[in-house]
């Protein structure tokens, strides 16, 4: 499963985090895959795309980052290509029509 990890730098100060990484390195537990990261220009947040099958690996990684003055938010995400596949059956339906029922509207008759 994919996760967007949002790391918030204390007081918009990325220096302690980068010192930590320089001095200790980044220790990712086996099974946690790091795909990349993006930093806001004002050093407020870092967005990191991670992948794992067990969320406890993210917890373990966060515990390895103690002392950097950062906080973490973990958001499960789905790639847009996979989301398009899920949404595709709904694109041409009426708002209240469930998928698989297209064109099968029945007239309601009076049962007397």
DSSP structure string for 64-103: HTTTS-EEEEEEEE--HHHHHHHHGGGTTS-TTPPTT-TT
Number of domains in the chain: 1
Residue 67: give the domain boundaries: 2-80
Q: Would you say residue 5 has pLDDT above 70?
A: yes
Q: Look at 40 and 103; give whichever has higher pLDDT.
A: 40
> What's the rounded Cα separation, in Å, for the pair 50 and 48?
6
- 21-25, 61-65, 77-81, 100-104: lowest mean pLDDT where? 100-104
Read off the tokens for 111. 């049962």
Q: For residue 93, is it within any domain? A: no
Q: What is the pLDDT, as a whole number, of residue 96?
A: 74
Residue 11: band (very low, low, confident or very high) from pLDDT cuts 50, 70, 90 = very high
Instruction: Give per-residue pLDDT as tens, 47-87.
Output: 999 999 999 999 999 999 988 889 999 999 999 999 999 99
Residue 101 has pLDDT above 90, yes or no: no
33: left (phi over 0), alpha (psi -120 to 50) or beta: beta
Q: Is residue 108 part of a domain?
A: no
Residue 35 sits in a domain whose CATH number is 3.30.70.1060
pLDDT-derived band at 89, boundaries 50, 70, 90: very high
Q: How far apart are the first and last CA of the chain?
A: 54
Write the burial class of residue 92 (CB in 10 Å: 0-12 exposed, 13-18 middle, 19+ buried): exposed
In a domain, 94, yes or no: no
**pLDDT on residue 102:** 56
Residues 36, 100: Cα–Cα separation, whole Å: 39
Compute, in degrees rounded to 10, the torsion defined by CA atoms 55, 2, 67, 45: -150
| 60 closest CA partner among 30, 31, 29, 37 | 29
């Amino acid at each position: 499963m994919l996760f967007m990890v949002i790391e918030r730098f204390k007081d918009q100060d990325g220096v302690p985090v980068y010192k930590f990484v320089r001095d200790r390195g980044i220790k990712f537990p086996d099974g946690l895959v790091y795909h990349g990261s993006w930093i806001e220009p004002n050093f407020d947040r870092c967005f990191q795309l991670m992948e794992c099958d067990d969320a406890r690996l993210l917890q373990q990684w966060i515990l390895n980052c103690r002392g950097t003055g950062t906080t973490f938010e973990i958001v499960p995400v789905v790639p847009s290509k996979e989301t398009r596949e899920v949404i595709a059956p709904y694109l041409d339906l009426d708002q209240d029509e469930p998928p698989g029922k297209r064109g099968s509207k029945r007239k309601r008759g009076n049962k007397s």
